[in-house]
Amino acid sequence: MKVLIFPTKAEAIEKAGDLITEKIRSNPTCTLGLATGGTMEPLYARLRAKGESLDCSRVTTFNLDEYVGIGPSHPQSYHAYMRLQLFDHLNFDPSNTHIPIGDAPDLEQEADRYERAVQDSGGIDLQLLGIGANGHIGFNEPCSSLGSRTRLKTLTSATRDANARFFKDHEVVPRYAITMGIKTILDAKEVVVLATGSKKAKACREMIEGAVSSYWPASALQLHPKVTALLDEEAAADLELREYLETVHPAGRDVKVV
């Protein structure tokens, strides 16, 4: 895993923006895996600011996950999030942007359909990931199978608490989600993880230095050959090998050594 530690959150986000922009410019028909959450908001703001200079008309996207029980027009759905944060501002073709349907009549069928759609697209070229404080990626909560595919997951109370800030009242925070599985994520050709803030420090330590374990789902990324983790100082605070990691990739500069 290539770990880049930046002095500030803004610099980590700038690097994530550069990696996505470079991917789209070098391969205008690429397939991106996209993430939601508070961490991604400043990143999507950077991409929005590129306006017409970033041609997304032939880009295909697959989001990681969606809450169960709320449909695409619900203001707290990830469909609404993506429209607001990104899709409505750049020239994405709506027929090429994909997010699971959280109020599908048959949710298991929807999860299987989504998994097939990812595979039929030819696979994800670059998967963007955030990380939960409990180490989840997508909504693959602790103890998710490392071999999992897109499916229904029950959210932990920690995740429901963390995401309650996006809802009017804790009671209405969804209890279930449809999420790409860990294996679905590991199938991406390349992964970029963005983690900022002290709440992510423990999860980042487990992702980078911990044992590969379903208890910390992000640790499964150690099995992937091409992962770049972009951390700010706060998210990197618990790394025991921090000094070494900073020597290998000083101040986030790209050095061609692994």
If the CB atoms of residues 56 and 131 are measured against ligand GLP, the closer one turns out to be: 131
Structure token pair of residue 166: 């996006």
Distances (CA, A) of 200 to 32, 38, 130, 167, 218: 24, 12, 10, 21, 12
What is the signed CA dihedral for 173, 85, 136, 19, rounded to 10 degrees? 180
If the CB atoms of residues 24 and 128 are measured against ligand GLP, the closer one turns out to be: 128
Say which of 136, 140, 206, 232 is annotated catalytic: 136
Residue 61 binds to ligand GLP (criterion: CB under 6 A): no
Is 136 noted as a catalytic residue in this protein?
yes
Residue 174 binds to ligand GLP (criterion: CB under 6 A): no
Distances (CA, A) of 228 to 1, 3, 5, 224: 6, 6, 11, 10
Residue 135 binds to ligand GLP (criterion: CB under 6 A): no
At closest approach, how far in Å is the CB of 228 from ligand GLP? 16
Residue pointed to by tokens 């610099």 = 11
Stretch that binds ligand GLP, among 31-39, 116-124, 181-189, 219-227 (CB under 6 A): 31-39
Residue 138 binds to ligand GLP (criterion: CB under 6 A): yes
Is 65 noted as a catalytic residue in this protein?
yes
Is 170 noted as a catalytic residue in this protein?
no
Classified as helix, coil or strand, 63 is: strand
Among 31, 39, 150, 184, binds ligand GLP (CB under 6 A): 39
| 140 secondary structure, DSSP code | B
Characterize the bridge pairing of strands 176-179 and 60-63: unpaired
Size, binding site for ligand GLP by CB under 6 A = 14
Residue pointed to by tokens 């895993």 = 1
* CA-only gyration radius of the chain, Å: 17
- State the residues that interact with ligand GLP by CB under 6 A: 35-39, 64-65, 130-132, 138-139, 159, 163
Active site residues: 65, 134, 136, 141
